[in-house]
Structure 1
Amino acid sequence: MTRTTDIMGWGRYPRKPGQMVRPRTETEIRAHVAQNGIIARGNGRAYGDSAIGSASTLDMRAMNRMISFDDTHGQLVAEAGVLLGDVIDAFLPRGWFPFVTPGTKFVSLGGAIAADVHGKNHHCDGSFGAFVNWIDVMDAAGHVTRASRFENTDLFAWTIGGMGLTGVILRAAIRLRPVETAWIQQNSLVAPNLTAAIQTIENTQAATYSVAWIDCLAKGKNLGRSIIMLGEHATLSDLPAERRDHPFSTPQRKKKTFPFDAPTACLNKATVKLFNALYWRKGKQSTGTSLVDWDSYFYPLDAILKWNRLYGRAGFVQFQCVLPLDQSEAGLTAILTETAAAGQGSFLAVLKRFGVQDSKLSFPTEGYTLALDFPANAKTLALLDRLDAITLDHGGRFYLAKDARLAAATLHKSDPRMSDLRQMRLKSGLDRQFSSAQSERLLL
């Protein structure tokens, strides 16, 4: 089925008219890949224009079959359109959970591989690609190649984090983690400023999961004040006696949906400042250890469907950078100072520690990553240009899965690997066949 429609990412900015094709079989995909300017799209959870084809977009959501599972090694073989939430629903009751998950369970496996998504445990486990055993990729001629760390290794390396620019990911084999329960032992800590937050995170690296919410409008001695949430998969012995007979049973969260596009005037410095102050106060009152269900710990935003409407019809943009370890505190201080001075506060200011990662294209590198959401408007775009400059000054780079407006020169200056990707695509002709609005904007 082919239709012409406005296509956008989760941030709803930018919107571009284009053809959307929804294949249901490998044969149907083969009929479309020969045309120029095509890109595969999972569940549309990339924030910007990375899953908008420059000419046509392949909606892979109908390619959503789970094929096999090896319960000895935890290997799942599934099609690219399977959602992470589908995997959890099927296998958590059997004692398995994804090794790495981003902040939403509504991402497809193909999207998770293409963006090489990371989670709260990168400092000890790495990114999603570390747990991909192999992938099947279709090229522009319709040929399917199986790639792994042991065969067709270049294709495998370019595809993990390659944003769909090497071909169409059809299916993959991923590894899951054995768990005893569906619960997380959460330890909440408070840091009065950025220096304390970084020190706390450094001192707690033994924790499997670690994430910090930052009050990005705090200034002066309170700059970067944070609530840090550590986590471990709870064992049977961690559960109260009444839960041990049903360790994978958790309370069902009521589905809520943000019902309309919020008026632009509702999201301003005053409302964000009030929200941040209340969230900080609540966090200070909730420190210590508690037992939290998996859904609440990993996916708090998924509790509200279509929460992106909060930013109004104009949408929102996210800024996410990673700064090398020796530049992190200085760079983060400069970014938070600039953000607070601009009064363009973010509800969703998230700080995480990355561990070492060596890969052709993936975003993470050892250091700290900061993600900030802002309403899409001229003031925001001007602020983000200034944050880009600060990131460059401190040796950082940017996350393409969240990008909607970065300049090509900025990207290539921050990450020389992107020029390698461009040269590989030009040499192989992939630039003509597989391209997105993002790849054209960023000269990839």
Structure 2
Amino acid sequence: MDWFFPFALMVGLILFFMGLGLPVAFAFFVTNIAGLYLFFGGSVGVDQMISNFSAAVGTYALAPLPLFLIMGSLFFRSGLGDGVMDALDMCIGNLRARLSYVVLAAGAVFSALSGSSLANTGMMGSLMVPEMIKRGYKAKMAYGPVLGAGSLAVVIPPSSLAVLLGSLAHIDVGALLIAGALPGLLLAVMFAALIFVQTLLDPEAAPQYPVERVPMGRKIKAIAVNIVPMGVIVFLVVGTIILGIATPTESSALGCAGVLGLLIAYRCFTWKALWTSLDDAMRVTGMTFLIISASTTFSQVFAFSGASNGFIGFVTGFDPGPYLFLFLMVCVILILGMFMDQVSMMLITLPIFLPIAAHFQFDLVWFGLILLLAFEVGFTTPPFGLLLFVMVGVAPPGTSLKTVALSAAPFIACTLLLIVLIVIFPQIALFLPNLF
């Protein structure tokens, strides 16, 4: 049990400093310094940590991250999303819970244009929730679809979280991004089926109201003006990767250029929006790179101290089988998701989970997608799910966290069901990467 002391010390210090409210990157840095002095030769280890910084963040796989952030921020700050919402609203027709379907369709489109769950939820929540409440929608039909649609950005490419996971876990970023396309669309269909079932069981949850009939010509024009150009952006980002025309880095640059072109064509371009988008991306990228630098050293110290190999030997000694281990890993993420954000969970769990995945010879793209879906659930689990707080922030005054969390529960169940389906039928995740 020589491994137990460094394992308990490293993991315990991380959780302790996070519990004190120390930012994630600094919690890792303090833990790293303690580990380096104890297990890595003192000041020599600190020098090694500093020299690792440039190598950790200088990888080509990380280049798409700031570009995807710029693309998503430009899209949301320019107002292009309003036109997409109007066009989808016009095309849905007079269905019961039509606004819930509009939110879901818009969430799928926006996920392929931004890669940010927080931005998706904030935008759709602020635009649609007041209107849905005014129309008499119950909480589960107003908040639930917004939270479900917002979380799609975790798996539908270009997912910023997938880029980060691929870089940290040394998974092919392009393959991981492509792998999320089919499960993301399947999840959107499952959400639509859930909304349909909810309206069947409780028709009063989404009262039907008369809607102006829109001529087909007007619908076609709205699609051509507001949705088809967005489809071009999706092709530039996702299609070029799938067809092998561009790498993820090149596709992210094409996406930025495409959004800029749309802003100019729609006369939405302003220098203020561009500067704000660059500032948004700089802040997130800077903190992310700092976290990655700290995480890289943490993984090295974790392995050098013997904690990693010792823990793997200990847990595999029980020999419960690979799928039980996979189940336990997902459960750990779901529990951590109640108390911390996705990046923190990723940094804590990957040094432990990846060696276990390698031991059982899991396909890393398949395994990475399962982790992403589990992280997605963490976005909407109380008491600290980030999307729950975003929704409470845009909901009418007096809306409780409990109300929002209960509205999200059926959509969480759909995501968990998708994880089970991917475990049983791995080709749901691997079909596109293997094909292209």
Which category describes the TM-score, using the shorter chain as reference length? under 0.3
Q: Which has the higher contact order (CA 8 A, sep 6+)?
A: 2
Larger strand fraction of residues = 1
Taking structure 2 as the reference length, what is the TM-score of the superposition? 0.25
Taking structure 1 as the reference length, what is the TM-score of the superposition? 0.25
Larger helix fraction of residues = 2
